[in-house]
Every structure is written in C-alpha cells, then in structure tokens.
Structure 1
C-alpha cells in the first residue's frame, strides 16, 4: 500500500504574499521595497548615531515622539525611492536579463547570467542607490553626489558581489522555493542597512570636515 505525503503547509500571510507576487509582481515588489526602505532608513539613522532632530517645546506630542524615534523626512523619501526607483529598476533589469537568457539552461548560460548580474546589473543598482541616497541626505550639487558615489561605490559593490551569489546558493540548497524571495529580501535589507549606515557616517564626517575648514578660514 503506497502513501502520498501531505503537501507542506505554509504560513497564510506568506502564501498571500507569494500569490500577490505572482499576480502583480511589480506592484508587490514596489510596496515591499518601499516598506523595507522606510524601516532601513530609521534603523540606519540609529546605528550611525545621527543626532535626533530638535523640535520646539510647544510642538505636538507626535512630533516629539517622531524625533525621539529619529523618524524624519528622509524616511518617507527613502520609501518613495524604493517605490518609484529601486523596485522598478530591479524589476526591469532582471526582466531583461531573463529575456536575454530565456530557454538557455547550460553551464555557459549560468555563467553568463552571473557575469551580467555582477558586472552590469549590480553596478547600475549601486550607483543609482548611492546617488539617490546622497540627494535624500542633503547633496545639492553634482560634485556632492559624485563624492558620495565615489566614496561608497566599491565598498558597496564588493559586499554585493560577496553576498548575492552566496545568498542564491544558500536559498537553492537549504530553503524551500517559496522561501527564496523573503530570504533574499531579508539579506538585501541587512546589506542595505549596512550601506545606509556607512553613508550616513561618511556624510557626517564630510560635514564635520567642512565645518572645521570654514572655522579655520574665519580664524
């Protein structure tokens, strides 16, 4: 007598998310990225030691609560970046790569996908991310944006090169296929928080140096 294994049950929320991802991939990715970018910005602000924004004593209670939590105008801007820039860009680039290698399953195709992902897609995503975060963090000139990109580009790209292939290997070997997307989102959230924290520290260092230079000129 043969027995048939019962199908694995997955969390209803995860099942609903995966169904939404299948039915509306871009919209689901955009909303997910937007939420993660918001949380990432708040967390990075705390980790970088950015001083809390000062608010008037007579400001509403919610304003004081937001200031203590270090939730400022940059958090919704990062959410907007995730919604309108990061998710659509990633969706488009990955879609183009999939079309390029559609129907190809050999070793050469796998190596080609890895090279395109690491040498074309990743650098573009890192450059756009650093440029947008520089503007959100206060950069107003091309030189300011270029300095931020130059300061963080190779560091961010190296981390991406180290984590992306490893993330894919771990997902393929140790996780059920339905857990791949949440796992990759988690890894990207962690590395993104690291990038953002480092950028904030660089920005504070640049501002402190500029302030010292200005004080020396006055003296």
Structure 2
C-alpha cells in the first residue's frame, strides 16, 4: 500500500510570485505596489462612505459602475505613484540595507539595522510619499509641496517609527529573507488602507461641520416675539 506525501512548500501562486521576484525584482515590486496603492485608494473611499461622483445619465453603464466603486483618476494616480515612485525607492533603499547587513545575525547588528531603517530610510520614504500626495492632490508649486511635507512629516514618521521596528523584528526572527518583501507589502497595505480610510472619514466629518455652520448662518434670526393681542 503506497502513501502520498504532501509537500510543505509554499502555495503555487506564492511560489510563482517569489520566482518572479527573484528573476525580475524591480518589475515585480513595481506592479505589486501599483496594485496595492490602487486598492488602498478604492477601499479607503468605500469604507469611509465617500459619496460617489455623479455621472451623467447618458453615460455607459461601465462608467457608472466605475464611479459607484470609486475607481477614478485619483486611484489611477495612486497606482502610478506606486509603480514609479514608491516601489523603485523602496527597492533600492531596502536592498541597500539588506546588503549592508547581509550575514550579520547578532543582536547588535539587528538593532543597528532597525535604527538605520528608522533614521535614514523612513524619513526619505515619508518625504517622498508626502511630496507625491501633494502633487496628486493638486499642488501647483514647489512651495506647496514643501508645506505639505512640513505639515505631515512628523505624523507620518511617528507611525513609521512604531510600525517599522515591530515589522522588522518579526521579519528578522520568524521569516526567511525571500519572504520579507511580501510581508512588508502586506503590512504597508493594511496600514495604508487604514490611514486612507481615517483621512477620508475626517474630511467628510469636517465638510459636514462646515455645511452645518453655513446652514446656521443662512437661517433668519429669531426675534422671540409672539403674536400681539389687545
């Protein structure tokens, strides 16, 4: 009687992805990041309850479906950002970090790797992210971009300094090197979707408060005088 042995290797799709990552690392990362950035924008809008853009009645059904799903130019711009900015920057920065600490497994080396990531890589990525978001949101000048970076830098970097050491520690202790990219992509996707949702939710709340204030201003003042009787 023969018995079949079930392999404990990775899922076939994951194996194909890892093979593509090994043979074409930058291209694979760029496509992956573009898709994840696109999904972050779409999911964030849907989860936050952002009103869908109105489409003329005579437009084809496909356009109405895309609009109701929040698949718009902003989502496409986010995909372009992921493909052309986020993925290449992360590829070269993280790749340089891994090469610098290749073969070093001691506690001191691991701590130094985390510090290098927090103090060097995270600020560069945060600045690139904020600059890109400013441009996508319609910044018209370098001054507008710089103001956006200055306004949001410490908020972004504080979160990065919390999440990055935790995810790096998990990767160092529990994951083989070839799984680092999928793991960090997953962490960034979840975190990015959450912040996208929070920003949109706060924006909707602020817009509602402004509408309520405008409505109060438009109401006629009450005199408090009742009907006059003899």
- TM-score, normalised to structure 1, is 0.80
Alignment correspondent of 1:163: 163
Between the aligned partners of 1:79 and 1:200, the Cα distance in structure 2 is 18
Between the aligned partners of 2:195 and 2:112, the Cα distance in structure 1 is 27
Counterparts of 1:174-213 in structure 2 under 5 Å?
Answer: 174=174, 179-200=179-200, 205=206
Between the aligned partners of 1:192 and 1:186, the Cα distance in structure 2 is 10
- From the superposition, tell whether residues 142 and 51 of structure 1 become closer, same or farther in structure 2 (CA, over 3 Å): farther
In the TM superposition, what whole-angstrom CA distance separates every residue of 1:193-217 from its partner, at most 9, and x where no partner exists? 23333444566659x97xx99xx9x
In the TM superposition, what whole-angstrom CA distance separates every residue of 1:134-183 from its partner, at most 9, and x where no partner exists? 22122323343334333332222222211122123334445566654323
Q: How many Å apart are 1:118 and its aligned residue?
A: 0.3
Could you say which structure has the larger radius of gyration? Answer: 2
CA RMSD of aligned residues (A): 2.9
- From the superposition, tell whether residues 6 and 198 of structure 1 become closer, same or farther in structure 2 (CA, over 3 Å): closer
* Unaligned 5+ runs, structure 2: 218-230
CA contact (8 A) 1:156 1:195 kept: no
The number of aligned residues is: 207
Counterparts of 1:1-40 in structure 2 under 5 Å?
Answer: 8-40=8-40
Alignment correspondent of 1:94: 94
Between the aligned partners of 1:96 and 1:178, the Cα distance in structure 2 is 15
Counterparts of 1:42-57 in structure 2 under 5 Å?
Answer: 42-57=42-57
Between the aligned partners of 2:50 and 2:7, the Cα distance in structure 1 is 49
- TM-score, normalised to structure 2, is 0.76
Q: How many Å apart are 1:94 and its aligned residue?
A: 1.7
- From the superposition, tell whether residues 163 and 26 of structure 1 become closer, same or farther in structure 2 (CA, over 3 Å): same
Q: How many Å apart are 1:85 and its aligned residue?
A: 0.7
* Unaligned 5+ runs, structure 1: none
